[in-house]
Amino acid sequence: MFKQFDKLFGIDLGTSNTVIFEKGKGIVLNEPSVVAFDNHTGELLAAGSEAQAMIGRAPAHVDITYPLIHGVIANFDKTSKMLNYFIKKIQGRPSFLRSSQIYITVPCGITNVQKRAIEETIVHRGAKKAIAIEEPLAAALGAGLMLDEPIGHLVLDIGGGTCQVAVLSLGGIVASHTINQGGLSIDRDIMDYVKRQYNMEIGERTAEQIKMQIGTAVLTAEERSIEVRGRDLVHGLPRSIRLVSSEIYTVVNEFLDALIDAIRATLELCPPELAGDVMEQGILLCGGGALLEGIDERIRAETGVSVHRAEHPLECTALGAGLMLGVYRTKSRPLMHDTSTEEQIAVSQ
C-alpha cells in the first residue's frame, strides 16, 4: 500500500528548461532554467523567461546564469531559489511542495551521490518525498511506451546540455551513452561561426533564433534565410547580415556526427535480441533537439533505423515523471507503472 500524498509533481529539471507536471492538471510550467541575481545584494531578481529576456541587456552588476551544467546541478543555492521562484509562480506561494511527492528527472549515468544531492534539494524546499528517475525512462513513459514489457526500446533525448541514448527493456536501462553536447552547444557553435566568418558578435538569444528558424540537419533544395543583427568586431558598430540554412547545416554537422556515433556505440552494447527489437520498434526522439528540422531523416539515413518523434518532445519527460505515481523499483522487480490516468492528454499544446 502506497503512502498517500496531498499532491504529486513531476519535475524535468533540465540545463535549458524546467518543466513541471502536476497530477490532475498536466503541465503547469515550462520555463528556461535561467536565473538573474544582483551581485551586490545576492537577491534573486528573476528566473525563467524573465531572466532569459535580460541576457545581453542587463547591467554589469546583474549576473545571469544557467544553474545546471550538462543536466547536473552546478549551483545548489541558485537552483533551489530558481525552483522556489517557479513554485511561487504557479501556486502563488512557495509552500506548495509540502505533503507532496516529487519525481525529478536526472541524466542517466550520474552517481548516487549526485542523485541524493538533487533529492535533498527538493526536500529542502518542503517536499515530503523526492525520488530521482533517469530521464530516458521518464521520457519513454511520457511518450506512451510500455516499459515493463520484455521488448527493447531506444530513446534519444536531445536536451540543452546533454544528449542521452538509452536502450530500455523490462523497466530498466540496459545500455546507454551520454554526450555533453546539446542545444546550447549548437547555439555557441553558431555564435562562433558568425564571429569567425563575418567578424560580427551575436548573443545567445540571437543564436537560438537562428537555430530555430533556419537550422537543419539535412540539405534541401530550398534555401531559407534570416537577417541577423549584431556588433561589428572591427568598428564596434551595429551591423546586420543574412544567413542561409546551408550555413547552419555546416555548423551543426559536427554535433550530429557525435550524436549518431553515440547511437551506434549504444547499439553495440546491446544483446542481439534487443538490437533486433530496436530495428523493429525504431528510435524514440524527444527533447528540444527533436524539433531541429530534418533530424529524424538524418538519423534514419545514417543508422538504417526508423525514427519516431514524441508527440510532445519538450514535455514528455516531465509528463513521464508525473505518471510515476505508484512506481516502485527493487533489484529483483522491473519498473511498474500505471498509464491509465488522463493526465497523458493534459499536456499543453
Pairing relationship of beta strands 225-232 and 68-69 according to DSSP bridges: unpaired
The response to whether 211 counts as a known ligand-binding position is yes
The response to whether 23 counts as a known ligand-binding position is no
Sign of the dihedral defined by the CA atoms of residues 200, 203, 207, 212, in that order: negative
Q: How far apart are CA 189 and CA 200, in angstroms?
A: 14
The response to whether 26 counts as a known ligand-binding position is no
The response to whether 183 counts as a known ligand-binding position is no
Give the alpha-carbon dihedral of 11, 329, 180, 224, to 10 degrees: -60
The response to whether 290 counts as a known ligand-binding position is yes
Q: What residues contact 294, with CB distance under 8 A and at least 6 apart?
A: 216, 217, 218, 220
Give the alpha-carbon dihedral of 96, 100, 106, 109, to 10 degrees: 150
Q: How far apart are CA 208 and CA 202, in angstroms?
A: 10
The response to whether 203 counts as a known ligand-binding position is no
The response to whether 291 counts as a known ligand-binding position is yes
The per-residue DSSP string of 259-295 comes to: HHHHHHHHHHTS-HHHHHHHHHH-EEEESGGGGSBTH
Nearest of 104, 80, 107 to residue 94 by alpha carbon: 80
The response to whether 210 counts as a known ligand-binding position is yes
Q: How far apart are CA 272 and CA 276, in angstroms?
A: 6
Q: How far apart are CA 290 and CA 217, in angstroms?
A: 11
Show binding-site residues.
160-162, 208-211, 288-291
Show binding-site residues for ATP.
160-162, 208-211, 288-291
